[in-house]
Structure 1
Amino acid sequence: MIELKSMRDKEKMRKAGLVVAEVLQILKKAVRPGITTKELDHIADSEIRARGAVPIFKGYHGYPASVCVSVNHEVVHGIPGARRLKEHDLVSLDLGAVMDSFVGDAALSVFVGEPPDDRAALLLRVTEESLYAGIQAAQPGGHLGDISHAVQEHVERHGFSVVRDYVGHGIGHQMHEDPQVPNYGPAGRGILLKPGLALAIEPMVNAGAYDVDVLDDGWTVVTRDGSLSAHFEHTIFITDHGPEILTRID
């Protein structure tokens, strides 16, 4: 069942979203050669709690950390550990926090230093652009498929592929609520977008094919062909006037 939120709910979600936004920027600045992904997890956990929130990922279906750190061909759900980042790595950081019973969820990708080549740099730019294309398409009176189509069209126009097996989602009191928000599909299909609908839109984009596998740890999703993957996400709230992003600082 899809739950529409009130404007009061939106303000509570904004508080959780701001925590996520601030901590993601701290993590982004901490990404450097030599740092371990576990050290990034320690930063995420302490900074979330310092803001009066709780990391929603930790313990979620048994996930062992407060942030997902996925590197290079890892798409999502990478588990932090002893791995040390090195120059040119592509690092995706996915973070969630709960505050006052509402959840904020967002993700970004960043290179350690400079990208290894122009195509890798383009992958990062196009993935982030596709997120904002999807957000722009989240207009009241439209359809869920409008978001999906906007993401897919922008990604494929640049020769990249959208992951099919993992999608965005509704969000609120729970991290994953109805509806699912695919990053592919035709416009004009799916549920009607109404004010009060809160969504986490999150394109996962591969430089190669869209096929993925899950490693033996049961969590880490990787591209089957070993190509780079990038991931960006925002929590949004649809108002009478259009989508409002709840997980950015400004």
Structure 2
Amino acid sequence: MIEILSPSEIARARETGALVAHILQTVRSRAAVGVNLLEIDAWTKEMIFDAGAVSCYVDYAPSFGRGPFGHYICTSVNDAVLHGRPYDYTLADGDLLSLDLAVSLGGVVADSAISFHVGDRRPPAEVALIEATERALAAGIAAAKPDARVGDISFAIGAVLSGAGYPVNTEFGGHGVGTTMHQDPHISNIGEPGRGYRLRPGLLLALEPWVMADTDELVFDDDGWTLRSATGCRTAHSEHTIAITEDGAEILTLPRN
């Protein structure tokens, strides 16, 4: 299903996006050495409930998972890159943490992800990994214009990631959002320009470049959810929800000052 949202729904999406950005930035500011991933999940739950919002994750049970996700935020550490299920793990100096959050507020969903180092140790190669996903995200957003194609976004993202020397996995990528978290169209992180669904004003998309330093192969944890690099290398993930407008793309999940 592909939804085209009305102006009133886009207005609600802005509020959802602001909430997602606020929660992610709040958690990032608290994610210090010695913090447990289960604490992060509890903080997220409290902020979602306090805002009168609904988690898109806690009851989420797609075909690739093992039962409901059961938590409120994805916490992927080091070689984990997607769907990191919070567990009893205490963050250490130099851990590379990716947070991925989707909530529904007023019946409209927003989805975003950030990657950053915990503590003071920030190896340059890992900083470059994070920055590559951020540049790729910016390139994908710049390509998202009315009458452009999904393939134009995929090509722009992939050009940055491949140009930085990283393999690109095509199993998981961006997607449409709206009244539900995962919708068509699928947006691969590499592709051919001029192909795929034509973008229209009112379309909401979650663009999410993610990479692993030296492989494009994923492996599942025993929890049935957490996806890690097959080689144990570090990973990074950046994501924004955008709305296609008459003029281009509006980023809905930027933090408000």
The match for 2:76 among 62, 70, 73 is: 70
Deviations 1:170-210 (A, max 9, x none): 00000011111111111111111111111010111111111
SS in 2 for 1:209: coil
User: What is aligned with 1:88?
Assistant: 94
**8 A Cα contact 1:24 1:95, kept in partner:** yes
SS in 2 for 1:163: coil
Q: Cα offset for 1:119?
A: 0.9
SS in 2 for 1:185: coil
Counterpart CA distance in 2 for 1:210 and 1:10 is: 35
Counterpart CA distance in 2 for 1:49 and 1:231 is: 26
SS in 2 for 1:96: strand
Task: Calculate the aligned-residue CA RMSD, in Å.
Answer: 1.1
In structure 1, list runs of 5 or more residues that go unmatched: none
Q: Cα offset for 1:116?
A: 4.1
Counterpart CA distance in 2 for 1:139 and 1:115 is: 39
Counterpart CA distance in 1 for 2:170 and 2:122 is: 26
Counterpart CA distance in 2 for 1:233 and 1:140 is: 20
1:212 aligns with 2:210: no
Deviations 1:1-46 (A, max 9, x none): 3221111110011111111010000011011111010000011110
Amino acid aligned to 2:137: L
Counterpart CA distance in 2 for 1:115 and 1:34 is: 14
Q: Cα offset for 1:163?
A: 2.4
The match for 2:103 among 97, 110, 113 is: 97
User: What is aligned with 1:9?
Assistant: 9
1:168 aligns with 2:174: yes
Counterpart CA distance in 1 for 2:22 and 2:124 is: 29
Amino acid aligned to 1:158: A
Counterpart CA distance in 2 for 1:48 and 1:144 is: 31
Report how many aligned residue pairs link the two structures.
Answer: 250
Amino acid aligned to 1:167: G
**8 A Cα contact 1:167 1:203, kept in partner:** yes
Counterpart CA distance in 2 for 1:56 and 1:141 is: 30
Counterpart CA distance in 2 for 1:160 and 1:129 is: 13
User: What is aligned with 1:45?
Assistant: 45
Q: Cα offset for 1:115?
A: 4.5
1:111 aligns with 2:124: no
Counterpart CA distance in 1 for 2:224 and 2:141 is: 31
Deviations 1:96-136 (A, max 9, x none): 11111111111101101234421111001111111111111
Counterpart CA distance in 1 for 2:146 and 2:120 is: 39
1:142 aligns with 2:144: no
1:195 aligns with 2:201: yes
1:129 aligns with 2:135: yes
**8 A Cα contact 1:165 1:212, kept in partner:** no
**8 A Cα contact 1:170 1:198, kept in partner:** yes
| Identical pairs, percent | 39
Instruction: With the length of structure 2 as denominator, give the TM-score of the two structures.
Output: 0.95
**8 A Cα contact 2:102 2:109, kept in partner:** yes
User: What is aligned with 2:19?
Assistant: 19
Counterpart CA distance in 1 for 2:114 and 2:121 is: 15
In structure 2, relative to structure 1, the CA distance for the partners of 1:247 and 1:116 (3 Å cut) is closer
Amino acid aligned to 1:68: C
**8 A Cα contact 2:109 2:179, kept in partner:** yes
**8 A Cα contact 2:25 2:255, kept in partner:** no
Instruction: With the length of structure 1 as denominator, give the TM-score of the two structures.
Output: 0.97
